[in-house]
Amino acid sequence: MLEMHGITKVYRTERVETHALRALDLHVREGEFVAVTGPSGSGKTTFLSIAGLLEEFSEGEYLLDGQAVKDLSDSARSRLRNRAIGFIFQSFNLIPDLDVAGNIGMPLRYRGLPTAERKERVEEALAEVGLSSRSRHFPNELSGGQQQRVAIARALAGRPRLLLADEPTGNLDSEMARAVMDLLEAVNTRGTTLILVTHDAELSNRARRIIRIVDGIATDVSGMASAMDGG
């Protein structure tokens, strides 16, 4: 579903050049759960932004669903992003003046879905994250874990095939973090491809595949921990 060849990203300002990603190769198949780890400043968010069509890359080839991303017009790229990709961030990015149902329905409204279908999708997404009884609450009336579940519901309501999560548990205590991770895993088990950026080894170890980025260089380290455990 996602194929990257030699993806390089250089941020240039007047004074400095930062090589945020260096010749990254990655192939993620439909339904996979891939964790991306690495120290702060290593290029994880840059990778996720490129994968999510939020940021352009400097060199290389990126195919999403077989389509070369570089060849897409801006509007085609936005359409592909809105249709295929769901985002979950560390800061939940909910709109404080909208209630839970309003937050979840907002991107669908932006996409022009009719009211009846929006309502149906919002209800389904609320049920999926276990918050059906909170549709009229406002974000500040919810716990952090509940707010993140609303953000997950908002992503799911778009029926994405690829879910991109950037440190989704970074603002949560460990119990809430576990619940959010369980939910993301359940979504993945039902077929949605999941890419999780985290510097937390406990979370990344839940993934079948682990990509570690250090200084813009990505290495597949899946199974290395267990190989070392085995001596």
122 is an interface residue for ligand ADP by CB under 6 A: yes
Shortest gap between Cβ of 25 and ligand ADP (angstroms)? 17
DSSP assignments along the chain, one per residue: -EEEEEEEEEEE-SS-EEEEEEEEEEEE-TT-EEEEE--TTSSHHHHHHHHTTSS--SEEEEEETTEEGGGS-HHHHHHHHHHHEEEE-SS----TTS-HHHHHHHHHHHTT--HHHHHHHHHHHHHHTT-GGGTT--GGGS-HHHHHHHHHHHHHHT--SEEEEESTTTTS-HHHHHHHHHHHHHHHHTT-EEEEE-S-HHHHTTSSEEEEEETTEEEE-TTHHHHHHT-
Shortest gap between Cβ of 231 and ligand ADP (angstroms)? 31
Shortest gap between Cβ of 124 and ligand ADP (angstroms)? 9
**Per-residue binder mask for ligand ADP (CB under 6 A), 125-144, x = binder:** ----------x---------
**Per-residue binder mask for ligand ADP (CB under 6 A), 40-69, x = binder:** xxxxxxx-----------------------
18 is an interface residue for ligand ADP by CB under 6 A: yes
Contact footprint for ligand ADP (CB under 6 A): 11, 18, 20, 38, 40-46, 101-102, 105, 108-109, 115, 118-119, 122-123, 135
